[in-house]
Structure 1
Amino acid sequence: MDHHADWATTAVTEHLVRGALELERTERGVLPHRLPARARAQCADGQLAMAESQPSGVRLVFRTRATTVELDALPTTWGYVGVPPRPRGVYDLLVDGRLTGRVTATGGTVVTTDLTSGDTHVQPGDVETTRFTGLPGHLATVEIWLPHIERTELVRLRANAPIEPAPDDGRRTWVHHGSSISHGSGAAGPSATWPALAAALGDVEPVNLGLSGSALLDPFTARTLRDIRADLISVKIGINVVNADLMRRRAFGPAVHGFLDTVREGHPSTPLVVVSPIHCPIHENTPGPGAFDTEALREGRVRFVATGDPAERAAGKLTLADVRDELARIVAQRSAGDPHLHYLDGLDLYGEADHAELPLPDGLHPAAATHHLIGERFAKHVFAVDGPFAG
């Protein structure tokens, strides 16, 4: 007997999805994107395409009296030849704002890249069903947070009671842009990335535009921030610029100004916080590019190193210390005529003393406990009664 016979099956539409900027229609269902099509069309970089399609902060939100909910979806994971695989992503279930379930993703499509040759192999997978049980059975707001490190094509939603979109609760919308640290690398789950934790503490609706390896002051990202609905905005700048060895000091300052100018075209008086990099020993005083530590890979571990020469700082090569100095200078200059622009030193979120207690496991990304620390400190700084995001 089909145990779904009396269940309600619901197509996944924009009425149920929050945190995505666009839903791409596919043969099976919909694929959430965190950058719009016109932005994606302006950059052919595979890293960006992967990052923006990984639904960090994207969740299904609905009201139901169900006790059991199932989601059919097709995950896609990425890996590299010779590099230990990342842990699988997880789905987080929140009921009336409280985490009540966490299920590890399984199966799906696997994309493997050989870093030496650039060749990529795709192993197609099948749609998987994620099942949540033990929901309360009375009318409740249910959130399914999608795996933040895996692309997730959404097929259909089922429950043993009708589902309806959750009404707008009137909370302010906070849009945040940053690197893999903001994307959530190292977090225990999608509702436990530091931006998700900070949003919960600040009682705001989050839109996470943290893009792993891709916080590079791209004009199309600035235009996305310009055009999106936002009551609060923050941009965390620096680590990707350094570890990609993307630009010198001469280009960095004008690029930051241009990025902020574009954002301000759409949000001239919205509270805007510029956040500098957290402490990262490998790049504090050593420029990029960053690279895998080959010795660690031989031992089956992932670790990153900086390969630049500190002597090249004199010629304009950037380190995290240089980036913090430049960002503080730029915000101080601009805030004289922009009272809603603020600077937050990343070392106030995670500094040298914190690294001694909670080191970065791979030399670059925070662990789960550090995501909690950063989220709590960010909320304390910006959502306080005298903070830039005060209600």
Structure 2
Amino acid sequence: MPTDWITTPLTADLLRGALDLESTEDGLLPHRLPARARAQAADPQLELAEEQPSGVRLVFRTRATAVELDTLPVKRAYDGAPARPDGVYDLLVDGRPAGRATVAGGDTLTVDLTSGATAYRRGPVGTARFTGLPAEEKTVEIWLPHNEMTRLVALRSDAPVEPAPADGRPVWLHHGSSISHGSDAASPSTTWPALAARLGGVELVNLGFAGSALLDPFTARAMRDTPADLISVKIGINVVNTDLMRLRAFGPAVHGFLDTLRDGHPDTPLLVVSPLLCPIHEDTPGPTAYDFSALAEGRLRFRAAGDPAERAAGKLTLTVVREELSRIVAQRSAEDPHLHHLDGRELYGEADAAELPLPDDLHPDAETHRRIGERFAQRVFTEGPFAGRGAPPSERSGSAARR
């Protein structure tokens, strides 16, 4: 190991994928919503989700053969549920996977699934270490854990580090639910949006918020104000999960969300993606609840707690949501030629569910994330509405997003 480390200040020009950075007494905290939006979101679930840095990565140029990143993560634990593994840090060198690390220590947030009560325990700073890197000049990316709030404390290397310059690749701004956030993916660079971005030759800004893709106006305004060349929104499953609204409110809320996006991006290709197949909610409304009989056996599973008969009163199911999204896009596209629609079952449908069922009845596993990412890249970046917009394969090494 090197004896003379160089410490590089952690500044905004080293980070990609975050919309805001907060200086805390424990380190630099990346946010995926700006401060104004966070001030309007009095929801602990959204606060937790947007602080988890899915898609956020450090990107720099260096000749270093060894790099260390000190962080103070917040690890989650659930009483009565299986233990969660430590968050993963992915290393990419010139756009290619080159290593993984985890960070021991950190704070712990424990949640009682029955009562909702929480307990917080402080812990020590830990270090993600990467060694054996090639000695030549290269672009290094460290993708932060997609499912673990992470405060950045210090960056060290055995050679100088400088911010990577922008390489001109289009910026893809995506918003969605826990599946877009990366729930149950193997690592931050293998969530389905990260995989699709790499295959499509674009730079990802991932606003996938677990449990929180709820057509919030502050999220729409944050997207409106974020520079982007391509935009997609995956809508529906969280609105059903939370039993948030009826059909009468859902349609106008979708229109309002899209109107706000168009205020800032009037001609940007905009894709509306309906929900993936989720058998428990295809024809049964929410809310979604924990399956406590499975928890008693040490397994995490979910169930649909609504009544199918309530559809007549306007309760939403995934079938209803897909029909409404298809109708809305068809209506709007008559005057908006850059608006497009994708049925989420093209990414994960009945045949996929038979082969790769959702382990907890709600979220895909690592293999399914890969399938969804590859299909999105093929149907959207290669054949569909974003075709020809990404960088060609010869230009996809390295990374430097404009945010």
TM-score by length of 2: 0.95
* Aligned equivalents of 1:389, 1:177: Cα separation in 2: 19
Q: 2:50 corresponds to which residue?
A: 52
* Aligned equivalents of 2:42, 2:215: Cα separation in 1: 16
* Aligned equivalents of 1:328, 1:105: Cα separation in 2: 44
Q: 1:39 corresponds to which residue?
A: 37
Q: How does 1:170-319 map to 2 (within 5 A)?
A: 170-319=168-317
Q: 1:87 corresponds to which residue?
A: 85
Report how far residue 386 of structure 1 moved.
Answer: 5.0
- Paired letter, 1:111: L
* Aligned equivalents of 1:117, 1:365: Cα separation in 2: 23
Report how far residue 43 of structure 1 moved.
Answer: 1.3
Report how far residue 80 of structure 1 moved.
Answer: 2.4
Specify the SS of the correspondent of 1:76: strand
Specify the SS of the correspondent of 1:47: helix
- Paired letter, 2:234: K
Deviation string for 1:150-183 (max 9, x for gaps)? Answer: 0000011001111111110000000000000000
Note the aligned Cα RMSD (angstroms).
1.1
Deviation string for 1:345-388 (max 9, x for gaps)? Answer: 00000001100001100000000010011001111111125533
Gaps (5+ residues) in structure 1? Answer: none
* Aligned equivalents of 1:330, 1:255: Cα separation in 2: 11
Q: 2:395 corresponds to which residue?
A: none
- Paired letter, 2:182: G
Q: 1:23 corresponds to which residue?
A: 21
- Paired letter, 1:294: F
* Aligned equivalents of 1:85, 1:238: Cα separation in 2: 29
* Aligned equivalents of 1:9, 1:275: Cα separation in 2: 43
Mapped contact 2:78–2:110 kept (Cα < 8 A)? yes
1:122 equivalent in alignment to 2:120: yes
Q: 2:108 corresponds to which residue?
A: 110
In terms of mean alpha carbon deviation, does 102-111 or 350-359 score higher? 102-111
Deviation string for 1:114-139 (max 9, x for gaps)? Answer: 24433321100111011001100110
Mapped contact 1:91–1:104 kept (Cα < 8 A)? yes
* Aligned equivalents of 1:85, 1:159: Cα separation in 2: 33
Q: 1:156 aligns with which of 154, 173, 177?
A: 154
Specify the SS of the correspondent of 1:333: helix
Q: 1:346 aligns with which of 334, 344, 347?
A: 344
Q: 1:323 corresponds to which residue?
A: 321
Instruction: Number of aligned residue pairs: give it.
Output: 389
Q: 1:68 corresponds to which residue?
A: 66
- Paired letter, 1:376: E
Q: 1:369 aligns with which of 367, 370, 374?
A: 367
In terms of mean alpha carbon deviation, does 118-127 or 373-382 score higher? 118-127
* Aligned equivalents of 1:113, 1:377: Cα separation in 2: 35
Specify the SS of the correspondent of 1:20: coil
- Paired letter, 2:152: L
Specify the SS of the correspondent of 2:326: helix
- Paired letter, 2:55: G
TM-score by length of 1: 0.98
Mapped contact 2:71–2:103 kept (Cα < 8 A)? no
Gaps (5+ residues) in structure 2? Answer: 390-403
Q: 2:335 corresponds to which residue?
A: 337
User: Which runs of at least 4 in structure 1 moved beyond 6 Å after TM superposition?
Assistant: none
Q: Could you tell me the percent identity over the aligned residues?
A: 71
Report how far residue 244 of structure 1 moved.
Answer: 0.6
